Homo-oligomer: A and B are copies of this chain.
Amino acid sequence: MSAPVSKSPATLHDVAREAGVSLATASRSLNGSARKVNESYRLRVVEAAQRLGYTTNLFAQAVAKGSTTTVALIVADIADPYFSSIAAGVIDAAGNENLVVTIAVTGRSSERELDTVRALRGQRPKVMILAGSRTTGSPYEEHLRAELSSFEDTGGKVAFISQDAAPFATVLLDNRGGARDLAIALAGLGYRRVAVITGPAEIRTAEERLDGFRTGLAEHGIPLLPEQIIHADFTREGGYRGTQELLASGAPVDLIFAVNDVMAVGVVSALRDAGVVPGQDIGVAGFDDIPTVRDITPALSTVRIPLEDVGRHALRLATGTATDAAAVQQAVSTETIIRGSTPPRDATAG
């Protein structure tokens, strides 16, 4: 017994024949164009298509029209809530414009990022959105820019999320300002001996947040010495290990700022595992306001970034749907959020 022969999908040609009209008429009545086809014909075509289970072959359409309906999104790690929230926003906005989004991950490797961009160009996406944070000093950065420029030269559009990546469109995250505001708020709560757990030095987002935080502290006359800064992976594990390292050093601390929430979550767990009560013995703050930080104990103080909006923004910026037509950069406002992880210091300190 032979397996059922796999028929190939119905083509526009089939539909036209079934409806007894020409290929051209079928095309016109099914897919856009300056519609000027007799309603009765149109109906017959639509019905024939229905009967045959016809679906436009987007690839073929793309080849014929020379343009696609694809947007490529490149993230470091889709399982990271930071990126998955942004992805949700991008996908949502894309849906509104009838665009399909393909997602690729780089695992935070600049090399893979470059490879990915190159591979994705084969898709001839209408736009490419790079959500990973930029690194400094990577030998691939330059090639990446070249690749992206070439992509734009050939009709594509790219949008970055994070820091300024001129000449490309960018949804600017105010890392410095947000961190500065947070530092000021925290200083106002009475924290004085702070440590920062940051990411690898090449990650610009980490550096900017560290820098902004330092600035804010300085405004309150609080120093941030090199030994109070610990570099670790930009992940939950990084935050965890960084905290262990900090604790081991015996440095007196009343506050730990982790440059992103995912790390901060690791900080909180590490503290607890070490018998230190987060929020009580030591304050903890993060950055991003990912969904889970409301649910850990104590709830985490952080800097809110409207992640989904950022994703939506990026897409609209790239497709030119953004209301602010001229804007090639859109800054997103951040908001300091104080929760239980950083109670007023004078009230809780021993």
Contacts and interface: CB of A to CB of B under 8 A. Distances in A.
Given A103-B102, A272-B297, A87 B79 contact: yes
A124 B155 contact: no
Nearest to A299: B269
A208 interface: no
A91 B63 contact: no
Interface string A286-314: 00000110111100000000001000000
A57 B57 CA distance: 16
A88 B81 contact: no
Contacts of A59: 59-60, 62-63, 68, 123-124
B291 A269 contact: no
Interface string A248-274: 000000000000000001101100100
A100 B73 CA distance: 11
Contacts of A78: 78, 84, 87-88, 91
Interface stretch (A6-14, A222-230, A329-337): A6-14
Interface string A40-68: 00000000000001011111101100101
Interface stretch (A19-27, A114-122, A129-137, A172-180): A114-122
A189 interface: no
A144 interface: no
Most B CB atoms within 10 A — which of A68, A291, A295?
A295
Copies of this protein chain in the complex: 2
Contacts of A122: 55-58
B294 A269 contact: yes
A321 to B, nearest CB: 19
Interface extent on A, as a size class?
A: 35 or more
A342 interface: no
Contacts of A269: 294-295
Given A6-B154, A79-B291, A296-B297, A103 B91 contact: yes
Given A79-B88, A103-B91, A292 B272 contact: no
Contacts of A236: 291, 295
Given A292-B292, A308-B79, A118 B55 contact: yes
B84 A79 contact: yes
Nearest to A5: B153
A348 interface: no
A217 interface: no
A88 B266 CA distance: 21
A306 to B, nearest CB: 13
A139 interface: no
A322 interface: no
A19 to B, nearest CB: 19
Interface string A62-90: 11001010100000011101001101100
Contacts of A6: 152-155
A122 B49 CA distance: 13
Interface string A133-150: 000000000000000001
B66 A63 contact: no
Which 8 residue pairs across A and B have the least CB separation, nearest first? A297-B297, A84-B84, A79-B88, A9-B154, A58-B122, A102-B102, A55-B121, A59-B59
Given A57-B63, A60-B63, A269-B294, 8 more contacts: A6-B153, A7-B154, A9-B155, A78-B87, A79-B81, A95-B104, A100-B102, A101-B104
